[in-house]
Amino acid sequence: MIIQKNIKKICLTLLFSLFFAAVPPALLAKYDYIDITNPFIRKIPMGIPLLKTFSKNYQEPMMAKKTADLISETLEFTGYFKILDRSAFLESPQKSGITATNIKFKNWTSIGTELLITGGLLIKGDKIEMELRLYDTFKQQLLTGKRYKGKTKDYRRIVRRFCSRVIFKLTNNKGFFNSKIAFVSTGTGNKEIYICDFDGYNPKKITNSKNITLSPAWSSDGKWLAYTSYMRKHPDLYIKNLISRHGTIVAKKGINSSPAWVPGKFELSATFSFTGDQEIHLLTGKGKFIKKLTENRGIDSSPSWSPDGKMFAFVSKRSGTPQIYIKNLITGNVIRLTFNGKYNTQPSWAPCGNKIAYSAMTRQGIDIYVVGVDGNNLTRLTTNKGNNESPSWSPDGSLITFCSTRKGSVSRIYIMTAYGTDQRQLLSLPGQQTSPAWSPEIMNN
Amino acid sequence: MYKKIRIFFLLFMAIPGLILTASCTKKPVLSEQADMPQYQDDAYDSDTSKSTDIEESGLYDAERLAQKTAIQEAKENFLNENIYFGFDKASLSMTAQEKLMIKASWMQNNPAASIIIEGHCDERGTTEYNIALGDRRAEKVKSFMMELGVDDSRIQTVSYGEERPADSGHNEDAWQLNRRARFTPYIDGF
């Protein structure tokens, strides 16, 4: 047992020294903990011991575990970290202390921990105080530390806020811990739209169409949701304010479908066929038509906007099969993006990195691919596991949510990294779940 | 003379009545016409003697039933017979066109009927694209019927994409049945 542990230790130390030898010193100086060009190849080992309790309140030990577990789950969700098993820890900050003066960093580096999160909590009545710190164990340095005060029932929000802080410190990006995922579920017997937190927590039904409801799309401030509903026995476009629950119904003759909001504006595009042909139009958030964005006989559908709002990707059948095209609104040029296969649809423009995810149908089924906006670096992200559809990016572009029928031909929502690794089911609900749409970071969460 | 006028009157009433049965059963004229055969039968009764043992029964009811059944069948055929499409196609095959010609003439014989054409797709492919494809299918069928003289105002379309399959199977047989245009009454003047 001891020998095994020692071997493990030696291996890990060796691995770490190798890793650090390989990283140029300039990068280390900038604290580039997570290499965003391909952050998932090597996960950073992180230690998250139980929080220290400060009073004799009976709730504290339970919360100390709950909080440490939630921090672990939340950070592990990103795909950047390997959360180390607590049974391997050589010291317990719960007893020895949670600040740099009390931590023996060697105890952590020797078991492979590169990042350490320590915390303490104090519960009084229904209020909680929490201190959380992130350390670089090799540098023996505090990277970020915060004290939070709030209601005990809000511990989840506190944890998420701290985790956002951790991700910001390590990636210089705001992350996605304040984001939500909208999706369609058949749990009631009808397709209705639900919204849950980014990690699948707290799913809530938000439509009551008692009919088919499809294609949820978030506005870039996260306050509005557009979708198609057959509530009035016809595919109409609903534009709904998620706070006031009010909104507009656009019910043109023909289809009113596949909405996509323009980043940073109270404007959206969607597919309509009232002109006699399926074309993408631009309209205000109040449902007033601004202009037609495509002009071509045959289907044009499923717009997805570039982050700067100057271009959009869409599906067109102009070449005979559904393929993805990009229209530049400044020049008016349209270029074809996909050439492989006969059925490429559902473009989803990444929030950063000039990439577009889409779904492609082959003989084996439907799979998700990513391609550069210039048509280069085509990568297949899902393989031989049922149909994989509806890719949608996390607001920081690090993850993709999608739906898949890989388990028992029942469609469920899944998450994977932008490179196709760490594929896992997001949540379990009755019925089938499809069309996930990842929201932007929603402030005041 | 009086009799002649009466026969003439009867014919005058009966002929359009017969035509009307073929087209529409809800017109008020029809209720008057429904009384006619009895009157006719009575007239026959008065002419025949009761002494013979010849059995006799009216043919009108059977005829009317057959006619009614034929009308009902034509209506059911109209509603139940779908138009099918190839994968990712909205074009009409020869068979589809022949079926639509029959449907268009039914529409012309039933001027009070208004219909909804539903466009459907198989489960392959993706939700949003299939909504657009279903729309194209329904519109294609509508415009073909309009070319055959059916008025625009009598046909509505709605696309269901892949949302309402006729067959829930996951194989080519099911997909074939699901790529369809389906006909439903809009105003039941049927």
Bigger pLDDT: A288 vs B23: A288
By the CB < 8 Å criterion, does A363 face chain B? Answer: no
A-chain residues within 8 Å CB-CB of B88? Answer: 321-322, 342-343
CA dist A414 to A191, A237, A280, A382, B189, Å?
A: 18, 26, 29, 11, 49
Q: What is the mean pLDDT of residues A143-168?
A: 95
A-chain residues within 8 Å CB-CB of B126? Answer: 345-346, 359, 366, 389-390
Q: How far apart are CA A10 and CA A13, in angstroms?
A: 5
Beta pairing, strands A300-305 & A311-316:
antiparallel
Neighbours of A388 (CB within 10 A): 27
Question: In the predicted model, is pLDDT for residue A221 greater than 90?
Answer: yes
A-chain residues within 8 Å CB-CB of B164? Answer: 212
**Do A117 and A166 contact (CB within 8 A), yes or no?**
yes
Q: How far apart are CA A441 and CA A418, in angstroms?
A: 17
Question: In the predicted model, is pLDDT for residue A36 greater than 90?
Answer: no
Note whether B126 contacts A345, CB cutoff 8 Å.
Answer: yes
Q: How far apart are CA B82 and CA B87, in angstroms?
A: 16
Q: Which of residues 58-87 of A touch B (CB under 8 A)?
A: none
Q: How far apart are CA A4 and CA B167, in angstroms?
A: 58
Note whether A254 contacts B157, CB cutoff 8 Å.
Answer: yes
Note whether A301 contacts B132, CB cutoff 8 Å.
Answer: yes
Q: What are phi and psi of A136, to 5 degrees?
A: -90, 110
Q: How far apart are CA A51 and CA A60, in angstroms?
A: 9
Share of chain A above pLDDT 70, in %: 91
Two tokens at A422? 């760490």
Q: How far apart are CA A401 and CA A399, in angstroms?
A: 7
Bigger pLDDT: A172 vs A217: A217
Note whether A254 contacts B132, CB cutoff 8 Å.
Answer: no
B-chain residues within 8 Å CB-CB of A321? Answer: 88
Note whether B135 contacts A254, CB cutoff 8 Å.
Answer: yes
Question: In the predicted model, is pLDDT for residue A112 greater than 90?
Answer: yes
According to the model, what pLDDT value does residue B31 have?
Answer: 41
**Do A295 and A317 contact (CB within 8 A), yes or no?**
no
* Of the partner residues A255, A258, A361, the one whose CB lies closest to the CB of residue B125: A361
By CB atoms closer than 10 A (0-12, 13-18, 19+), residue A378 is middle
SS3 state at B80: helix
> What's the mean per-residue pLDDT of chain B?
80
Lowest mean pLDDT among A69-78, A300-309, A311-320, A375-384: A375-384
For chain B, the residues whose C-beta falls within 8 A of a C-beta of chain A are 88, 124-129, 131-133, 135-136, 139, 157-161, 163-164, 170
Q: Which of A192, A229, A273 to mutate to test the interface with B (most CBs of B within 10 A)?
A: A273
pTM of the model: 0.83
Question: In the predicted model, is pLDDT for residue A374 greater than 50?
Answer: yes
| Long-range pairs for A245-248: beta carbons < 8 A, 24 or more residues apart | A248/A285, A248/A286, A248/A287
CA dist A376 to A312, A361, A369, A436, B157, Å?
A: 18, 19, 12, 26, 41
Residue B61 confidence class, pLDDT cut points 50, 70, 90: confident
- CA-based angle B131:A263:A232, to the nearest 5? 35
Q: Would you list the DSSP string of A399-433?
A: EEEEEEEEETTEEEEEEEETTS-S-EE----SS-E
* Of the partner residues A233, A301, A434, the one whose CB lies closest to the CB of residue B129: A301
Q: What is the pLDDT of residues A267-316, one digit of tens each?
A: 999 999 999 999 999 999 999 999 999 999 999 999 999 999 999 999 99
Query: Which is it for the CA torsion A162, A167, A173, A174, positive or negative?
Result: negative
Q: Which of B117, B124, B131, B143 to mutate to test the interface with A (most CBs of A within 10 A)?
A: B131
CA dist A320 to A299, A300, B68, Å?
A: 10, 12, 47
- The Cα of A38 is separated from the nearest Cα of chain B by a number of Å equal to 30
Q: What is the pLDDT of residues A88-99, one digit of tens each?
A: 999 988 888 888
Residue B23 confidence class, pLDDT cut points 50, 70, 90: very low
Question: In the predicted model, is pLDDT for residue A217 greater than 60?
Answer: yes
**Do A358 and A324 contact (CB within 8 A), yes or no?**
yes
According to the model, what pLDDT value does residue B25 have?
Answer: 41
Two tokens at A371? 């391609």
Give the side-chain half-sphere CA count within 13 A for B6: 7
Phi and psi based region of residue A52 (left: phi greater than 0; alpha: psi -120 to 50; beta: remaining): beta
Instruction: Report the chain A residue with the minimal C-alpha distance to residue B125.
Output: A361
Note whether B88 contacts A255, CB cutoff 8 Å.
Answer: no
Q: What is the pLDDT of residues A163-203, one digit of tens each?
A: 999 999 999 988 999 999 999 999 999 999 999 999 999 99
Neighbours of B59 (CB within 10 A): 8
**Do A198 and A215 contact (CB within 8 A), yes or no?**
no
Q: What is the DSSP letter of B170?
A: S
Q: How far apart are CA A82 and CA A75, in angstroms?
A: 9
Residue A23 confidence class, pLDDT cut points 50, 70, 90: very low
Question: In the predicted model, is pLDDT for residue B24 greater than 80?
Answer: no
Bigger pLDDT: A13 vs A285: A285
According to the model, what pLDDT value does residue B40 have?
Answer: 45
Edge-to-edge strands of the sheet including A192-197? A204-205, A192-197, A180-185, A433-438
Provide the residue count of chain A: 445
Note whether B163 contacts A214, CB cutoff 8 Å.
Answer: yes
Q: Which of A190, A229, A233, A301 to mutate to test the interface with B (most CBs of B within 10 A)?
A: A301
- CA-based angle A260:A188:A216, to the nearest 5? 5
Element (H, E) at A170: helix A155-171
Question: In the predicted model, is pLDDT for residue A29 greater than 60?
Answer: no
B-chain residues within 8 Å CB-CB of A254? Answer: 135, 139, 157, 159
Q: Tell me which amino acid residue A407 is.
A: K
Total beta-carbon pairs less than 8 A apart between chain A and chain B: 81
**Do A253 and A274 contact (CB within 8 A), yes or no?**
yes
SS3 state at A47: strand
ipTM score of the complex? 0.87
| Long-range pairs for B84-89: beta carbons < 8 A, 24 or more residues apart | B84/B176, B84/B177, B84/B179, B84/B180, B85/B137, B85/B179, B85/B180, B85/B181, B86/B179, B87/B122, B87/B124, B87/B175, B87/B179, B88/A321, B88/A322, B88/A342, B88/A343, B88/B125, B88/B133, B89/B179
Residue B52 confidence class, pLDDT cut points 50, 70, 90: low
Q: Which of residues 11-50 of A touch B (CB under 8 A)?
A: none
According to the model, what pLDDT value does residue B71 have?
Answer: 87
Q: What is the pLDDT of residues B115-164, one digit of tens each?
A: 999 999 999 889 999 999 999 999 999 999 999 999 999 999 999 999 99
**Do B131 and A235 contact (CB within 8 A), yes or no?**
yes
According to the model, what pLDDT value does residue B9 have?
Answer: 47
According to the model, what pLDDT value does residue A70 have?
Answer: 97
By the CB < 8 Å criterion, does A344 face chain B? Answer: no
